[in-house]
Amino acid sequence: MSIGSGRSNVPESSGRQVVEAVPNFSEGRDPDFVGAAAAAFASAGCEVLHTTMDPDHHRSVVTVIGSPRAVQMGAVAAAKLALRRIDLRAHAGVHPRVGALDVLPFVPLHGIGMDDVVRLARRVGDRIANLGIPVVFYGRASRPPGRSLAGIRRCAGDHPEADLVGREPGGGRMHPVAHPTAGTTCVGARGVLLAWNVDIEGVSLERARGIAARIREAGGGFPGLRALALRLARQRRTQISMNIEDPARTDPNDVFRAIEREVRDARGRVSGTEVIGMCPDQVAAPATVRAMGIRDWSRDRILGRRLSAYLEARGG
């Protein structure tokens, strides 16, 4: 599989359509919630590939694959769960967020194109809006395409009742104000990305923020790289938290080596790497896993491998 492109090496003639969903919830301290979110997708017919949660981020991520119908049903069920069980008024975490079900991206993996996944995202957004939760579309699902999560969050901080709400042309029904407990949900369509955190020691948070600013695309660094420096007080760790939008275009190994150089120049050290969700091929090589010190590694974390097994099990 070419993970960067989101295309399988399994022949497309099978006719089976597979979509990935990677919902991010603003709850990272209650394992029962994460289990219930995964179960909502499994009950809809999806295969749950991975779950992760972090108490300092106060965030959990569930990665699933399935047919468009199964993924749609699971996503709406998960949105209802988040509405019932997460109250943003009592939420405190280091990760930026605007909603209980904060981010809901859909990714075409096999037998389905981006245009169809955009339509899927907008159908799901409409159903979530019908629950009374404001929805804003991002990535390929926005109109025009390309709205960023960073831009949405900046608007949320500066204008809590502007830009995140209202009615988009041809889009889901929106509501005039954010939901008091569930906030706003960002629904998107995108390609496969790499979400990862690099832990560093011996470097102040201020210095780490400078490193993040220099390596991110907005600071003139790597194309498609989003980066923040965060201090995890409960875990006594400092990390650079990142997304690479297209790992086939921007090599994660190059980004990691740049961080190592910056941290070494600051008389610190890189102490490990955490991949959130599934791993694209670009970080699946054993040499890369060792060099980055990726925690909780197994071959079952490779998205291409799991997709191939999923298709084989279903005669695809």
**Residue-wise DSSP of the chain:** -BTTTTB-SS-GGG---EEEE--EES--S-HHHHHHHHHHHHHTTPEEEEEEEETTTTEEEEEEEE-HHHHHHHHHHHHHHHHHH--GGG---SS--SBSEEEEEEEEEES--HHHHHHHHHHHHHHHHTTT--EEEEETTSSSTTB-HHHHHHHHHH-TTSSSSS--TTS----SS-BTTTB-EEEEE----EEEEEEEES--HHHHHHHHHHHSGGGT-STTEEEEEEEETTTTEEEEEEEES-TTTS-HHHHHHHHHHHHHHTT-EEEEEEEESPBPGGG-SHHHHHHHTBTT--GGGBHHHHHHHHHHHTT-
**Which one of 50, 91, 95, 179 is the catalytic residue?**
95
pLDDT of res. 177: 74
- Burial, 131: exposed, middle or buried (Cβ in 10 Å; 0-12, 13-18, 19+)? middle
Token code pair at residue 299? 């071959």
pLDDT of res. 156: 61
Per-block mean pLDDT, blocks of 10 residues, the chain (316 long): 38 72 98 98 98 97 98 98 97 94 98 98 96 95 92 62 37 61 96 97 97 97 97 96 96 97 97 96 91 94 96 88
- Burial, 38: exposed, middle or buried (Cβ in 10 Å; 0-12, 13-18, 19+)? buried
Domains of the chain and any CATH numbers: 12-189 (3.30.990.10), 194-298 (3.30.70.670)
Is 95 considered catalytic here?
Answer: yes
pLDDT of res. 316: 67
Residue tagged 């590939």 (tokens): 49
